[in-house]
Each structure stands twice: as C-alpha cells, then as structure tokens.
Chains A and B, each alone.
Chain A
Amino acid sequence: MGDKVLMKGNEALAEAAIMAGCRHYFGYPITPQTEVAAYLAKRMPLVDGTFLQAESEIAAINMVIGVASAGKRVMTSSSSPGISLKSEGLSYLAGCDLPALVINVQRGGPGLGGIQPSQSDYFHATRGAGHGDFHMLVLAPASVQEMASLVFKGFDLADKYRMTTMILADGTIGQMMEPVSLDMGEVKHYDKPWAVTGTKGERTHNIVNSLSLLPEELEQWNFKRYERYAEIEKNEALYESFLTEDADIVIVAFGVAARVARNAIVAARAKGIKAGLIRPITLWPFPKSALKEAAKTAKAFVSVELSMGQMIEDIELAIRCTRPVLLCNRAGGMIPTPEEVLAKIEKADRIGGEN
C-alpha cells in the first residue's frame, strides 16, 4: 500500500502510457477526457516525447497512423463525439494492421450529446468503429488502477496482434480519484519487421497500406485477419467474477455500472437473494464462455448499462437466449442507483426462469 498515490483516472492512464513506452500522443481537448491531454502536455517533453494538439480529431488519428507505421507506440484520446470523427482512421488502422492505443472516455450521446458519463459507444467500439470487416480489442476499466493497468496491457495486446486497442472508459472513471499503484512491471518488446523505418539499402522496402484492387488478394487479407481474431477470441477474453458460484441472478456490467451493481449485489445477498456479478474486462473479445457457464445454474441475467441496452445483445448471444436477460439502464449521462439495480434483481428473482 505504501507506494500508492491518489490520481484521477485520466491522469493514471496518461502516466501508464508513458511507462509503457509511448512517446507520441496526438489529441484534441474534449470533456471528460481533457486531463489526458493536459497531463501529457506537461509530461511528454520531460521524457523527450511528442505531445501535439492537432487541429482536429481527424488529424490526430491520422498522425497516429503515421507513427504506428513507423513501429512506435502511439496513443490518441477523445470522448464520444470526437471518437466518431476518428472512425475513418480506426478503419484504416485495421486495414493496415497497425498497433495503436485509442482512448474513449465516453459521454452521453448521440450527436453532441452531453458531458456526463455514458456507455453508449459500446456498439461503436465492439461492432461498428468504421467501415469494413474488422475488430478492435476493447478494454473496459472499472477503477483508476485499471485505467493504468489496462493501458499497459492494451499496448501489449496491440503490438502482439498488430491491432488497435480501445480503452472504453466513461466520465466517472476518468474524473474520479482512487489510490493507484504505478508498479506496472516490465514492458514487453515486440519485433516489428514490417515497420517503415527506412531500408538503409539493406532490404526491400516495407509497405503499410490498406488498398488492394484485387478482390482475390483483399479477400485473403480479410481471411488472415479473421484467423487472428479467432485466436484472440480463444485466448484473450478477460472478466472478473464476484459471488457467482451459487448465484441465481447474474448481473453483467462493466466500468462504473459494475461498481454500482456490486453495491446492489451486497444488498440483495443481505435480503437472501443469491446474486452475483460477471464484469467483462474485455468487451471484445466478449467473455462468452464465462456467461455460458453461468447460464447452466443461473435463473436469470441482468444487464446493467449506461445506455439504451447495447451489451445486452452480447449477453443474449453468449447464452443463446437460454435464460431471460433483464435490462437495468439509464441513459444520456445518468447512472443507475444501487436501489434501481436491486429492484431489477428482485424482479429477476421473482420471474425466475419465466421470460
């Protein structure tokens, strides 16, 4: 405990990026993630890194493509409306098979929306980050500690699989302070023989590109990419369980929603209802097998979300609709209270297996 410091989620995330060897950051201010940019504006020059406030979110993501092509660790951050602007770049990063870290500290939408916390970019992050067939690795921190540790892991996974990792946080986790240990361990290094770093006349030149006008070739690129995705789905799904062993009612929630759910579960247990929590840490890959396993003994599931109900589709898919899944949600920047979650748990307990 002695080495813990109090930091905001956004600041812990920024410091962890530096510790992970990221020396290039391109961004544009937007609430509630501005502390990431502010922190790195101060910190990057001290480690001979590049902090650049771009003229727009679109410019920033294209600068990310440039640095990633050169094989260096690179990051950009924004909040929901700004992430929409980056969508084209996210698709190009995938098409070029480039590793990068993109942070989304979500706020209420759609459109300009509001500035209070939200999780309504779940579909965007896990399904539709841009055009074409592709996925990003999506990590969902639920504490300031995870804001740091998942940035570290995110860079590692990005390099390992040559993919974009998105940290899908929300305004609460970004703004809050908690004790955090910045003891992140060793940075793993990955050879990047594909990087465009100059041939020095010693090898044929590398090309980083997403364009192919030969459909046979482009199809093969897609097939190969999806072989990698299958491997990731098999190996990289992460989740945390809380009191699920004997749970009749299983809550599924990530980020701040999972923390609210935890209070409700403790309250439900005090009332004699066996409730438990599965908290996905990776949203893609989604921890399907953990849910499938839970469905063998659980009577019903409850999805707690700061959206109109997006992750609930993945829950229903994972358990093949074998159990009822209830939705407990708020939207537009509102957060469900533990009392609201408890009421939904009680309802799930009443209906049991009846949908």
Chain B
Amino acid sequence: MTTNILISGFGGQGVLFTGKFLAYEGLLENKEVTWLPSYGPEMRGGTANCAVIISDEPIGSPLVTYPDVLIAMNLPSLDKFEKDIVPGGMVFYDSSLIDRKVTRSDIKVFPIPATKMASDAGFPTLANMIVLGKLLKETAMFPAETIDKTIAKVVSARKQNLVELNKKAIQLGLEL
C-alpha cells in the first residue's frame, strides 16, 4: 500500500510542517517515507508545496505527480492540483479561504472552514493542523494513539510550548 500526498498553500500556512507531521507518523509506524518540499523563490510569499509518500514498499520516485490525497490551503493550490488527483482520491481544502466548489465528481471532497475555526479557537496560525486532524480521521492511515507522540517529536525543542495547542487543533479536525 502506497499513499501519495500533496500539501499546498501559501508560504507560512504550515504546509511543510503538515507534511513533516505525516512523515514522522510514517516513520514511527515503521513505514517507508519520503518528504520533498518545493524549494526556491516561490516560497517567499508565493505558493509552497510538499510531497509526502508513505508506503509499505521501498519508495522509488519521491515526486508526487498524481496525489491520492491533496490538501489545498488556498485557491491557487486547488486550481493547480485538483485535476491531478487520482480517481477515488481525496481532497481536503480550507473552505474559509477557497470560495469555489470542487468540480470533480470522482473524488471524495472535504471542505473544512479551517482558518475560521482556528481564529475562533484562538490559534489563528494552526488552520493546517485542523485540516490535518480531519485527514487523519478520514484516511485512518495511522492509529489515533500515535498522534500525541508524533506531535512531541515534530514540534521543535524551542517551540514545545505549542505542543498542546497543536494537539487541540488536531482534535478539532478529528471531531469534524
């Protein structure tokens, strides 16, 4: 089983961090994992994305051309990658920032008003973790009890004070 995930949004929306979380989950579950960021000038204020592959087999190409799962945190990301999702795949998108509907009918669609929910909950920068929570619930890729362990691992040492907030944000997504 191989899951190709593409996460895309504005630089600063935690796109790379979300990917890192999934990669660490994979590592802790003894899966094969790759995480590949887009790099270069597009990261300064423009759209950033990262490709995460989680597999039971050794991974060949770390590039994701046709994602099984897409997270779109802004409209340009949905516009760019919607057509590439494999039939039967999933898209999770921030419906507080994206005001159009997904046009594909052969994929599972999960609109999440993540930015609004994050603001209302008092942690406006953690919309990505709410979307992540929903993704973890719908894909059931990882056992729920590993989430706390992964958070502690993936949040850097100097930001450990944010661990609890991240957990809360993921919980909001899990409950959706």
| A152-195 residues at the B interface, CB under 8 angstroms | 171-172, 175-179
Given contacts A178-B33, A178-B34, contact A260 B39 (CB under 8 A): no
List of B residues within 8 angstroms of A4 by Cβ: 27
Confirm or deny: A222 has a beta carbon within 8 angstroms of a beta carbon on chain B. no
Within the complex, which residue of A1, A172, A179 is in contact with B36, where a contact is CB–CB below 8 Å? A172
A116 touches B35 (CB 8 A): no
B62 close to A6 (CB less than 8 A): no
The verdict on B20 contacting chain A, using a C-beta distance below 8 Å, is yes
The answer to whether A259 touches B35, judged by C-beta atoms less than 8 angstroms apart, is no
Contact A337 B65 (CB under 8 A): yes
A31–B39 touching, CB < 8 Å:
yes
Q: Do A179 and B63 contact each other (CB < 8 Å), given the known contacts A6-B33, A116-B40?
A: no
Residues in chain A near residue B33, CB distance under 8 A? 6, 177-179
- Please give the residue numbers on chain A whose beta carbons come within 8 Å of chain B beta carbons, in ascending order: 1, 4-6, 31-32, 115-116, 171-172, 175-179, 256, 259-263, 266, 335, 337-339
Are B60 and A338 neighbours in the complex by a CB distance under 8 Å?
Answer: yes
Indicate which residue in A31, A115, A178, A262 contacts B61 across the interface (CB closer than 8 Å): A262
Shortest beta-carbon distance, B12 to chain A, in Å? Answer: 19
A177→B35 contact, CB < 8 A? yes
The answer to whether A115 and B27 touch across the interface, beta carbons within 8 angstroms, is no
A31–B39 Cα distance when bound, in Å, is: 9
B37 interface hit (Cβ, 8 Å):
yes
- Contact partner, B60, options A6, A115, A266, Cβ 8 Å: A266
What is the distance, in angstroms, from A145's C-beta to the closest C-beta of chain B?
11
- Once the chains are docked, how many angstroms separate the CA of A6 from the CA of B34? 9
Contact call A115/B36, Cβ cutoff below 8 A = no
Interface membership of B156, Cβ < 8 A: no
Report the minimal beta-carbon distance from B97 to chain A, rounded to whole angstroms: 27
Chain B residues contacting A263 (CB-CB under 8 Å) are: 60-61
Q: What chain B residues lie within 8 Å of A262 (beta carbons)?
A: 58, 60-61
The list of the 3 closest CB pairs from A to B, nearest first, reads A262-B60, A177-B35, A263-B60
Known interface pairs A31-B40, A177-B34. Does A338 touch B61 (Cβ–Cβ under 8 Å)?
A: yes
Beta-carbon contacts of B56-89 to A below 8 Å, as 1s and 0s? Answer: 0011111101000000000000000000000000
> Bound state CA distance, A137 and B30, in angstroms?
34
Cβ-defined contact, A259 with B60, below 8 A? yes
Query: For the complex, what is the distance from the CA of A175 to the CA of B23, rounded to whole Å?
Result: 14
* Residue from B40, B59, B62 in contact with A172 in the complex, judged by beta carbons closer than 8 Å: B62
Contact A177 to B23, CB < 8 A, known contacts A259-B61, A262-B61? yes
Q: Which of B1-53 contact A (CB under 8 A)?
A: 20, 23-24, 27, 30, 32-37, 39-41
Residue contacts A-B, CB under 8 angstroms, 5 given:
A6-B24, A6-B33, A172-B62, A175-B39, A266-B60
